[in-house]
Amino acid sequence: MPIIKSAKKRVKLNKKAAVRNAKTKRSVKVALKQFKSALKAGKNISKNQSILQSNIDKAAKKNVIHKNKANRLKSKLAKQAKASSMTAPKKTATKTKKTVKKTK
């Protein structure tokens, strides 16, 4: 246990910061799990991706994770979302009427 007054204050501040950082990390992990389950289900992928990217940006802003790691994660997520949208069943094209332009 610290003896000096300023060291005691630092201990209190570090405890508060640890709680804040844990909360931020937890929000990123929960959002990541939701995104992965959305990928498997094939529904609400873009919504979950935007929520996750927002949480990652907040964590990087608070220096909970490094900014390069945040960018790497977001890039990875975008690739996964794009790949899953490519494999999703596409709607069949509807037949359109061809119009012929008449010349005078």
> Domain of 72: which CATH number?
1.20.58.110
Q: Is residue 72 part of a domain?
A: yes
Q: What was the pLDDT predicted at 14?
A: 96
Q: Is residue 51 part of a domain?
A: yes
Domain count, the chain: 1
Q: Which residue has the higher pLDDT, 99 or 50?
A: 50
Q: Which residue has the higher pLDDT, 43 or 95?
A: 43
The token duo for 11 is 């201990």
Nearest to 24 by CA among 64, 74, 73, 57: 64
Q: What was the pLDDT predicted at 10?
A: 97
pLDDT at 100 over 80: no
Q: Is residue 92 part of a domain?
A: no
Q: Is residue 94 part of a domain?
A: no
Nearest to 40 by CA among 92, 76, 88, 6: 88
Give me the domain span that covers residue 45. Answer: 5-87
Nearest to 28 by CA among 3, 79, 62: 62
Model confidence pLDDT, tens digit, residues 31-65: 999 999 999 998 899 999 999 999 999 999 999 99
Q: Is residue 98 part of a domain?
A: no
Arithmetic mean of pLDDT over the chain: 90
Q: Is residue 101 part of a domain?
A: no
Q: How far apart are CA 24 and CA 56, in angstroms?
A: 9
- Percent of the chain with pLDDT strictly greater than 90: 74
Q: How far apart are CA 2 and CA 53, in angstroms?
A: 40
Q: Is residue 83 part of a domain?
A: yes
